[in-house]
Structure 1
Amino acid sequence: MEKDRAEFWAACERVLDTMSGPVADDAAARRHILAEAELILSDMVESLRAGHARVTENNRRAAGGNGGSAAARDAHPRDSLLFWDAFFDIVLRRLVAYVDLGEESRDPFGLAVSVLYRSITSRLSDGLVSYSGRLLNKVHEAQLDERSRITRELHDRVGFWLNTAFRQMELYDVARERGTDLGKATERVERARFAVREAMRSLRATTSELRLQEPVKNLEKALSAAFAALPANEAVFRLNVNGDEEWAPNAVKDEVFLITREAVRNAVVHGRPKLVVIGVHIAPHELRVYVDDDGAGFDPAEKSGGIGLSAMRERAELLNGALTVSTVQGRGTHVELFVPIPERGDA
Structure 2
Amino acid sequence: MALPADAAADRSGLVEAAVARYAHGLREAGNPLVLHPELWASCEKQARQILGECVDALHGTPVEVAQEAELASMALGVQRSSEKVPPIDSVHAARVLFDAGVGTMTEAAARLPADITLPRCLSAVRMLHEAIFTRVSAAAIGYESATLRDVGEVSTARRHQLARDLHDHIGSSISLALRCLDLYEAERAKGVTSTRDRLADARHALRDVFGFTRSMVSGLRVNELHDGLKEEIDAYSAAASDRPAEVSSRIDGDESWLPEQARQELFLVVREALRNAFTHARARHIDVLVSIFPDAVHATVTDDGVGLPHRRDGEGTGLTAMRQRVTALGGTLELIGGPGRGTRVQVRFPLDGDRDGDRDSGARGADGGVR
TM-score (norm 1): 0.54
1:316 correspondence with 2:326: yes
DSSP-derived class of the 2:322 partner: helix
Contact 2:329 2:355 in 1 (8 A): no
CA distance in 2, matches of 1:185, 1:289: 29
After superposition, the C-alpha distances for 1:290-314 in whole angstroms (9 at most, x for unaligned) are 1100111221523543111100000
**1:309 aligned partner, one-letter code:** L
**Residue of 267, 286, 293 corresponding to 2:303:** 293
Judged with a 3 Å threshold, the aligned counterparts in structure 2 of structure 1 residues 253 and 143 are, in CA distance, closer, same or farther, namely same
CA distance in 2, matches of 1:153, 1:197: 16
Asked which structure has the greater RCO (Cα within 8 Å, sep 6+), the reply is 2
**2:223 aligned partner, one-letter code:** E
Mapping of 1:266-345 within 5 angstroms?
266-299=276-309, 301-343=311-353
Superposed CA RMSD: 2.5
**1:165 aligned partner, one-letter code:** A
Judged with a 3 Å threshold, the aligned counterparts in structure 2 of structure 1 residues 148 and 300 are, in CA distance, closer, same or farther, namely farther
CA distance in 1, matches of 2:223, 2:197: 28
1:152 correspondence with 2:164: yes
DSSP-derived class of the 1:298 partner: coil
**1:253 aligned partner, one-letter code:** R
Mapping of 1:195-234 within 5 angstroms?
195-209=205-219, 211=221, 213-216=222-225, 218-233=228-243
Give the number of the structure whose alpha-carbon radius of gyration is greater.
1
Match of 2:177 in 1: 165
DSSP-derived class of the 2:208 partner: helix
DSSP-derived class of the 1:151 partner: helix
1:242 correspondence with 2:249: no
Identity, % of aligned positions: 32
Contact 2:331 2:350 in 1 (8 A): yes
CA distance in 1, matches of 2:310, 2:164: 22
Contact 1:216 1:222 in 2 (8 A): yes
Kindly state the Cα deviation for residue 234 of structure 1 after the two structures are TM-superposed.
6.2
After superposition, the C-alpha distances for 1:173-220 in whole angstroms (9 at most, x for unaligned) are 3333x3421x32983223222222222222222222274x11447322
After superposition, the C-alpha distances for 1:91-120 in whole angstroms (9 at most, x for unaligned) are xxxxxxxxxxxxxxxxxxxxxxxxxxxxxx
CA distance in 2, matches of 1:210, 1:299: 41
After superposition, the C-alpha distances for 1:135-194 in whole angstroms (9 at most, x for unaligned) are x9xx67x52211110010111112111101111222323333x3421x329832232222
CA distance in 2, matches of 1:303, 1:327: 16
DSSP-derived class of the 1:209 partner: coil
